[in-house]
Chains A and B, each alone.
Chain A
Amino acid sequence: MKIGVITYPGTLDDRDAQRAIKLAGATPVPLWHASDDLKGIDAVVLPGGFSYGDYLRCGAIAAQAPATKEVIKKAEKGLPILGICNGFQVLVEAHLLPGGLIRNEKQHFVCRDQRLRVENSDTRWTGMFSENEEITIPLKNGEGGYIADDETLKYLEDENLIAFRYLDVNPNGSMNEIAGLSNKQGNIVGLMPHPEHAVEPGFGPDTPIATRSGIDGLRFFQSVIGQVVG
């Protein structure tokens, strides 16, 4: 199973996403923003970072990159796509997911071990979670406040498209505590927290058992492998 990871100029967490894919048991395939060759991948991750410096709206330029355009084409055909942080912003800018992401309510970048509730375990990237499971995933963003109009929020709630909600603390002022979304087909998932930073014991978030031992993020990648292969 081959999972692509797109690198845009300014992408930061691409190597981390590749490592996570490897640890989950698939083959990471580096993809370059300027090329529309997706190299026969079975799924794709749009990783975190500050693509093109995010000097325009976050993710806006990356949404226009040749590699992204090719991904958008394949999205309709069911290509599993995971957008993490800046990747989530790209998905929103590409209109693959609704709404928008704005500067954190407190105006500061925030990095924390974030509790989340998995609200929808019926997507290509969340199949290995149980419904309403509580997990801990590192969050780090400056512009992670999710916003949408009332109609969209209602649609998301009614159709059960809110994949993750923040627990304990709403770190960026997101509406309805929304941490991540999926599309209706369940092949596209976008979220602000970083599952690729909770995949390896010793380098993840703290848990009550041991320092930095949290690996809840691994199941994002295992989910897509299991479902695509199975």
Chain B
Amino acid sequence: MFKKKTESNVDTTKDASSEDKDQPWAELGLTQDEYQLIREILNRRPTSSELAMYSVMWSEHCSYKSSKIYLRQFGQKVTDEMNKHLMVGMGENAGVVDIGEGLAVTFKVESHNHPSYIEPFQGAATGVGGIVRDILSMGARPVAVMDQLRFGAPEHPDTARVVHGVVDGISNYGNSLGLPNIGGETVFDARYQGNPLVNALAVGVLKHDDLKLAKATNPGDLVILFGARTGADGIGGVSVLASETFDDDGPSRRPAVQVGDPFAEKVLIEACMELYELDVISGIQDLGGAGISCATSELAANGDRGMEIQLRNVLLRDESLTPEEILMSESQERMMAIVNKRNLKKFEQIMNKWEVEYSILGKVLADEKLVIRWDEQEIVNVPPKTVAIDSPVYERSVEYPTWIDELNANSSESLPRETEPSEIAAQIIQIASSANQADKSWITSQYDRYVLGNTALSMPDDGGMIRVNEESGLGITMATDANGKYCQLDPYQGAKLALAEAYRNVAMTGARPRAVTNCLNFGSPENPEVMWQFKQATTGLADGCVEASIPVTGGNVSFYNQTGDVAIYPTPVVGVLGVIDDVARRIPSGWQDTGHNIYLLGTTKDELDGSAWAEVIHDHLGGKPPEVDFQKEMELADLIHGANIQGMVASAHDISEGGLAQALVESSLRFGNGARIWLGELMERDGIDLTAALFSESQARAIVSVGREDDVKFVGLCEARGVPIVRIGVTDLESSALEIQGIADIDLLELKSAHVRTLPELFS
């Protein structure tokens, strides 16, 4: 069918030095300036392999060239206090945080947005696979995953295709890996039509001593590729080069979306665990975007060394691959290890036990040069740092959006407010059954939340909690949040709000927030208004982190989420990691006991702009998002922690989208237990009307239920700490209704049916 690659048609460094030629730099996404820069670095034209490497490593996705100048804030706006627990910060595969008892946690969110639109199942599946390998490459055992999903309008005909594919992909891959899925987000909005966001988070646990870095530091160490064979996955762009060397009747070009094999990844995890346990490797890197190009250049660059690679040694699924394609392939379930020769035997034994294929590609060089050969021919000879680290950095133009003043001026103040009790009750149900506030178990019941036996909390609780030390009970909580509507109204404030909510969610489980990760989903960086949003959001997040005294440990940026001129809402997903001394002290989110007092903590203001109420009832988005005050968030978190240590908090639930009403609905439906609620005192104290009392999305608020025996003490504690507290009701297990005085007795079965049936009706 097609010609096997022969030596004569390989573009060598010798060729590149002796003969110039036109190269398809533009097709590979490089600018003319970037191409010139490569020529200056090499003092000749690049070979086609080198051109492929630079083009993909200097892409937005790999190099962060448009975002770098803003991401620096996360490393700069820090205090000693914030960095107290930080073991590895920005720049590595994932951040690492000390959690005590000699243990550390590594966690990260990554986007797989574009592939998940083209091929939702594989896009989402390999998103999970990729983030898990990031965690694995830090020396950690992955212990949980979460996902942050944003889809188009629920009724749009294409949405079901994406929803089904994405959920199946996560379910299929994550469940087969044996990692509990402990939470996440699902949001629907027409603004994500054609640009769904599929973000995946993974958490891993390691002993301090097991920390691994993606570095090749010891000359002579072997460079070994192991795991799945290399195939033609995800080499889309590079086909430009490959096509130059194939006959016209050659094979059709390759799929751009990678295909996942969760079984191969599960085996890879176990094999890596044994490598770490027996201290076999000196460096490790997962292969994700940019494949072997990325792994070799990063390992060498991070270790201030070089590398010598024989590309013919790569085990292939498809013998027809060209050197350029092998370098670029994004085949999944592969890792690259740096192994000292004396450990080779141990390495081989572990690979053989788990039946994992491997091949020795080359060795680490003392000099900072990356040399790649195809048989005897040298096809790459570059300084690794120029590929992996010193990519161009851009300060893209930034413009204040022309439309934003008008949007901010169009507040929710003018929207009519109901006073009729039955109409208000109907609004509560309407919001609770809207796609964004409805029960998500149609999705989450497709994920295994039990495997590994350490899940202490999972959806629909405020955060996902995992025990990490079975002896002591030490555990962690993860929560992620983002509200694209708030960010559209004000990206600076919106990013802070995402942090505030994730922080509050973690605190409501009884854990202490300790570190932050993020996944910044935006439109095109070439649009100055998008760049303004990005600048505002990163600045807001960095400032919020200083105010909350909690560090960003790493993150991911996804640009180009837009169709034509219409970008998605700026969507900075913020993940907060918390630590809890003993998961036995976790706080559940629903009412389980009768006669407990229900308290609202915090102050309610008339803040309905960008709210679920404005969206669901009035199809309105405008005005200014709620205010954020991290001092108040911290006071609330400290209060819950203090009260929980003394065993006073029977349940807690943060108040966010949908306001108090939604929090009450979720708290009663969690275990199907009723309550009697009165709002008069709250309305009088905070000077608000019924609509604001029920639906305002004011921050730094939560509802808690407290047993009678702890009542006096709890109220006293709140007053002493200056956290506003008002009793709004009492739990009543005899009642089968959420009884809101002066409004309605909302039957729990009816409420549940409305809350639960939305997603199955849309997608079953």
Binding site for B on A (CB under 8 A): 9-10, 12-13, 15-16, 19, 48-50, 52-55, 106, 108-112, 138, 140, 142, 194, 196-197, 200, 202-203, 206, 208-212
Known: A53-B262, A211-B592. Is A202-B584 also a contact (CB below 8 A)? yes
Q: Is the CB of A202 within 8 A of B583?
A: yes
Give the shortest distance, in Å, between B672 (CB) and chain A (any CB).
9
Q: Does B451 touch A at the CB level, under 8 Å?
A: yes
Q: Is the CB of B452 within 8 A of A16?
A: yes
Residues of B within 8 A of A206 (CB): 671
Q: Does B400 touch A at the CB level, under 8 Å?
A: no
Give the shortest distance, in Å, between A23 (CB) and chain B (any CB).
10
Give the shortest distance, in Å, between B3 (CB) and chain A (any CB).
33
Give the contact stretch, choosing among B421-429, B440-448, B571-579, B627-635.
B440-448
Q: Which among B263, B461, B588 has the greatest number of chain A C-beta atoms within 10 A?
A: B263
**B266 and chain A: residue at smallest CB distance:** A10
Q: Is the CB of A10 within 8 A of B267?
A: yes
Known: A202-B584, A203-B467, A210-B592. Is A108-B171 also a contact (CB below 8 A)? yes
Known: A10-B267, A202-B584. Is A211-B457 also a contact (CB below 8 A)? yes
Q: Is the CB of B671 within 8 A of A208?
A: yes
Residues of A within 8 A of B178 (CB): 12-13, 49
Q: Is the CB of A111 within 8 A of B445?
A: yes
Residues of A within 8 A of B764 (CB): 106
Residues of B within 8 A of A13 (CB): 178, 451
Would you give 16 A-B contacts (Cβ < 8 Å), ordered by A?
A13-B178, A15-B453, A16-B450, A53-B176, A108-B171, A109-B172, A111-B445, A111-B447, A140-B450, A142-B175, A202-B583, A203-B454, A203-B455, A206-B671, A209-B592, A212-B455
- Knowing that A111-B447, A142-B172, A211-B461 are A-B contacts, what are 7 other residue pairs whose CB atoms are under 8 Å apart, sorted by A's residue number? A9-B263, A9-B270, A12-B266, A106-B764, A108-B168, A108-B171, A206-B671
Give the shortest distance, in Å, between A37 (CB) and chain B (any CB).
15
Residues of B within 8 A of A55 (CB): 263
Q: How far is the CA of A230 from the CA of B408 in the complex (A)?
A: 76
B459-481 to A contact mask, C-beta < 8 Å, 1/0: 00100000100100000000000
**A7 and chain B: residue at smallest CB distance:** B270
Residues of A within 8 A of B451 (CB): 12-13, 16, 48, 140, 197
Q: Is the CB of A53 within 8 A of B263?
A: yes
Q: Is the CB of B446 within 8 A of A108?
A: yes
Q: Is the CB of A9 within 8 A of B355?
A: yes
Q: How far is the CA of A202 from the CA of B448 in the complex (A)?
A: 17
Residues of A within 8 A of B168 (CB): 108
Give the top 5 A-B pairs by smallest Cβ distance, nearest first. Answer: A53-B263, A12-B178, A211-B588, A16-B453, A197-B450
Q: Is the CB of B446 within 8 A of A110?
A: yes
* Contact of B445 (CB < 8 Å), options: A54, A112, A203, A209: A112
Q: How far is the CA of A197 from the CA of B455 in the complex (A)?
A: 10
**B179 and chain A: residue at smallest CB distance:** A12
Give the shortest distance, in Å, between B234 (CB) and chain A (any CB).
21
Q: How far is the CA of A17 from the CA of B176 in the complex (A)?
A: 17
Q: Is the CB of A140 within 8 A of B448?
A: yes
Q: Is the CB of B446 within 8 A of A15?
A: no
Q: How far is the CA of A112 from the CA of B450 in the complex (A)?
A: 10
Q: Does B189 touch A at the CB level, under 8 Å?
A: no
Residues of A within 8 A of B138 (CB): none
Residues of A within 8 A of B449 (CB): 111
* Contact of A196 (CB < 8 Å), options: B263, B445, B453: B453
Residues of A within 8 A of B172 (CB): 109, 142
B168-204 to A contact mask, C-beta < 8 Å, 1/0: 1001100111100000000000000000000000000
Q: How far is the CA of A81 from the CA of B556 in the complex (A)?
A: 47
Q: Is the CB of A202 within 8 A of B456?
A: yes
Residues of B within 8 A of A212 (CB): 455-457
Q: How far is the CA of A12 from the CA of B262 in the complex (A)?
A: 12
Q: Is the CB of A109 within 8 A of B175?
A: yes
Q: Does B394 touch A at the CB level, under 8 Å?
A: no
Q: How far is the CA of A210 from the CA of B587 in the complex (A)?
A: 11
* Contact of A111 (CB < 8 Å), options: B176, B450, B456, B467: B450
Q: How far is the CA of A200 from the CA of B453 in the complex (A)?
A: 9
Known: A197-B453, A203-B453. Is A52-B445 also a contact (CB below 8 A)? no
B234-273 to A contact mask, C-beta < 8 Å, 1/0: 0000000000000000000000000001111011001000
B350-365 to A contact mask, C-beta < 8 Å, 1/0: 0000110000000000
Residues of B within 8 A of A16 (CB): 450-453
Q: How far is the CA of A111 from the CA of B168 in the complex (A)?
A: 13
Q: How far is the CA of A13 from the CA of B171 in the complex (A)?
A: 16
Residues of B within 8 A of A208 (CB): 592, 671
Q: How far is the CA of A12 from the CA of B176 in the complex (A)?
A: 8
Give the shortest distance, in Å, between A108 (CB) and chain B (any CB).
5
Residues of A within 8 A of B583 (CB): 202
Residues of A within 8 A of B355 (CB): 9
Residues of B within 8 A of A202 (CB): 456, 583-584, 586
Q: How far is the CA of A55 from the CA of B453 in the complex (A)?
A: 25
Give the shortest distance, in Å, between B142 (CB) and chain A (any CB).
12
Q: Is the CB of B592 within 8 A of A203?
A: no
Q: Is the CB of B452 within 8 A of A140?
A: no
Q: Is the CB of A10 within 8 A of B453?
A: no
Q: Is the CB of A203 within 8 A of B456?
A: yes
**B450 and chain A: residue at smallest CB distance:** A197
Residues of A within 8 A of B467 (CB): 203
Give the shortest distance, in Å, between B497 (CB) and chain A (any CB).
28
Give the shortest distance, in Å, between A87 (CB) and chain B (any CB).
14
Q: Is the CB of B448 within 8 A of A52?
A: no
Give the shortest distance, in Å, between B271 (CB) and chain A (any CB).
10
**A197 and chain B: residue at smallest CB distance:** B450
Residues of B within 8 A of A211 (CB): 457, 461, 586, 588, 590, 592
**A112 and chain B: residue at smallest CB distance:** B445
Residues of A within 8 A of B452 (CB): 15-16
**B590 and chain A: residue at smallest CB distance:** A211
Q: How far is the CA of A155 from the CA of B449 in the complex (A)?
A: 36
Q: Is the CB of B176 within 8 A of A50?
A: yes
Q: How far is the CA of A197 from the CA of B708 in the complex (A)?
A: 33
Known: A16-B451, A108-B171. Is A53-B261 also a contact (CB below 8 A)? yes
Q: Is the CB of B448 within 8 A of A111?
A: yes
Q: How far is the CA of A140 from the CA of B355 in the complex (A)?
A: 27
Q: Is the CB of A10 within 8 A of B445?
A: no
